[in-house]
Amino acid sequence: MRGTIVKGIAGFYYVKSGETVYRCRARGVFKEQGIKPAVGDEVRFEIGAEEDNTLVTEILPRKNCFIRPFVANVDCFVVVTAAKKPAPVLQTIDRFLVMAEKAGTDIVLCINKCDLKGKQEELREIYESIYPVVMLGEGMDEGLVRLRELIRGKKAALAGASGVGKSTILNRLHAEELMETGKISEKSQRGKHTTRHTELFELDDEGTMIFDTPGFTSFDILEADEEELQFLYPEIGAYAGKCRYDNCRHLAEPECAVKRAMEEGEINPSRYRSYKEQMEELTK
């Protein structure tokens, strides 16, 4: 049989096939080969005579895979930031976007808490020409409808810093209160993770599924190299080959098309600053 791993806890993998979820163990050969099934994996499994003898026998080829959290086959990243509480950090947003570009997924930028007077207009001005931007907040149902349309039929993952409202968005996408929501610390203005394990929820009967995970909040190592970084910023990659030097990194080189485009207002300065910081990090 074939199915999708929707949860993994204490050595058991819960595989959804059709309308049924089967509790499985992984074949011992996976451990011997250093392979571990991930939430989101498409797998083949065999039903055993006894409940605990149902086994995952094969992991089908992955579209992508992430280590922290350990999930696979993300079709779309919904990068979530708050307009306020916590205040958005542009460099952090851009690291999430680079991660999504590197993984080859669709991307949606979701600005949450837009019912508060925050930086939603600034964020929209920076990003709406690059990615679909969705505005969410209390009573803002139109944004939720648009978000549903953008992730329809895909395995989507919410990514963003603590406290931006990822679990609340998941609750709103699903008709039920699936996840406990956390409150922002007034002192730190940061939220605490309320998700304790990774799970993949089915949102409708059209194949739309969404990961809820305690991860995707920080990056110790930038998962890109200096040759490809410019292409992970679509508006910067558009100028590849137009600089004086073929190997231009768009930092201090003369006659750089990217820097000229920024000066002419074609590239937002904050995006260029994020690119420059990441490039300098990669070339240390």
Interval 143-158: pLDDT, tens: 999 999 999 999 999 9
Rounded average pLDDT over 8-32: 93
Q: Residue 222: what pLDDT?
A: 61
148: number of Cβ within 10 Å: 16
Interval 240-267: pLDDT, tens: 999 999 999 999 999 999 999 999 999 9
In this structure, of 37-46, 74-83, 174-183, 210-219, the range with the lowest mean pLDDT score is: 174-183
Q: Residue 216: what pLDDT?
A: 67
Question: Within 13 Å and on the Cβ side, how many CA atoms surround 17?
Answer: 16
Q: Residue 258: what pLDDT?
A: 97
Contacts of 51 (CB under 8 A, 6+ apart): 23
> Is the Cα torsion angle 224, 228, 231, 236 positive or negative in sign?
positive
Residue-range domain boundaries for the chain:
2-61, 71-212, 229-282
Instruction: Give the whole-number percent of the chain exceeding pLDDT 70.
Output: 89
The arrangement of secondary structure in 2-61, i.e. its CATH architecture, is Beta Barrel (2.40)
Confidence check: pLDDT of 204 > 70: yes
Helices (H), the chain: 28-32, 90-103, 120-127, 141-151, 166-173, 234-237, 257-263, 269-282
Q: Residue 69: what pLDDT?
A: 86
Q: Which of 112, 108, 94 is nearest to 151 (CA)?
A: 108
Does 71-212 carry CATH code 3.40.720.10?
no
Mean pLDDT of the chain: 88
List the structure tokens of 110: 């979701």
Estimate to the nearest angstrom the gap between the alpha carbon of 146 and the chain centroid.
18
Which residues, in sequence order, are bridge partners of residue 17?
20
Classify the phi-psi angles of 163: left when phi > 0, otherwise alpha if psi is within -120 to 50, otherwise beta: left
Question: Coil, strand, or helix at residue 149?
Answer: helix
In total, the chain counts a number of residues equal to: 284
The band of 184, judged by pLDDT with boundaries at 50, 70 and 90, is: very low
Q: Residue 65: what pLDDT?
A: 92
Q: By CB neighbour count within 10 A (0-12 exposed, 13-18 middle, 19+ buried), where does 156 fall?
A: buried
Homologous superfamily assigned to 229-282:
Probable gtpase engc; domain 3 (1.10.40.50)
Rounded average pLDDT over 94-112: 95
The identity of residue 93, as a single letter, is I
List the structure tokens of 187: 């002192």
Q: Which of 121, 107, 140, 125 is nearest to 232 (CA)?
A: 107
